Chains A and B, each alone.
Chain A
């Protein structure tokens, strides 16, 4: 069985991509989506040692907030499951402690964004703590979820029909995602998601293209969105390899 997949990028940023895959089964598409959400490991703070916390929040509350700060995750193979990276924070009020105040001991793992507020400190209040970041999967805790908005839709093929009758008022026809118009891929946001904007005075017909899915992938900054996709595919691959091996025994 030889699979012929065809991938084409529609939008491409660091944290945000949209791409079309042809020739994929719904089961496999959903497997990749689920793997991106729950199975790709990312770094996140898991244990915090407070040296001083005279802020208005309890240690536990701050520990949760620190845990939710997205950290960059090094390339596959750089870190093992139970490796620990220590980050420290020392902020004195008045002012706000931001994720950017976290000082890392390993430059591969640092806050993905500098401007996540952790807590506001009043005059004389102080937060000093050490935190250990570990690698884990979204399945175990949402803070380890690399993909924050991951989904797919069918590619929709639009065919233009007859003119609508002269005395008929055209109704808005709202669709979302990506359409295929004469082999050209067009984002629906280009025409305000309304087909009557793009084809005024025409009847249009919309159908799903079988086996063609448009994925939209957005990450929290742990890694590039393209990395998330390849790592998700790798987790499926490695599980299939495990199974193959287990069956042979």
Chain B
């Protein structure tokens, strides 16, 4: 009697155990499905629209006559490189130096305040940065510009770079710093010639991740850069960028442009996922050292 009761209870527990474990496996599979679907679909649609023309031409107006050829996205590639490159030039020094400050001078009230601001910035919706750049630059100058877009992206990149720099610098062994200081080197020399070179690859990783994040960002560009169908190198006028073009062409009723949007999306995914995968493989092989 007692034996049977325990047995039934035990069987129930084993059953619940098995059921829940199967559920977790199912949940993992369910979550991976969208990733696979999205990547497969983007690749399928994107590779089809890739061609030499696609990469080397700019927008070609669509008329009933030439509806089959819609030009290319060269202007968007150039725009993305210029806008994101310029914001990287601004964000990298700020982020790296702030990271150095946080890791080399920890534990005072200034670094607590700065770390708090970095946290707030990294959680801030990207559109808020876009709105700020819009008010500060677009409304003042009365013109949309790639420059305003760069400023909006700086807000996004600084916290990423600061945080990775700080984390990497903390991994540099304290003994290396002490060795340099014991030889009589001042702190700045220790930091610049001993600590920084040891952490260089990690800092580069942070900068690359920030680049990838900013390259895929659309919303802040929408309200600052606006978009442009022509190839332009003028940072102070409206420009085009890959994510922006993907969005605009998606909203168009023309099949040709929708197809080009997928091409642009494919380029973006290749750039962004490529950087992310490379960084992960790179840091993984290095970390056990």
Asked if A pairs with B, the answer is no
**Chain A residues with a Cβ under 8 A of chain B:** none
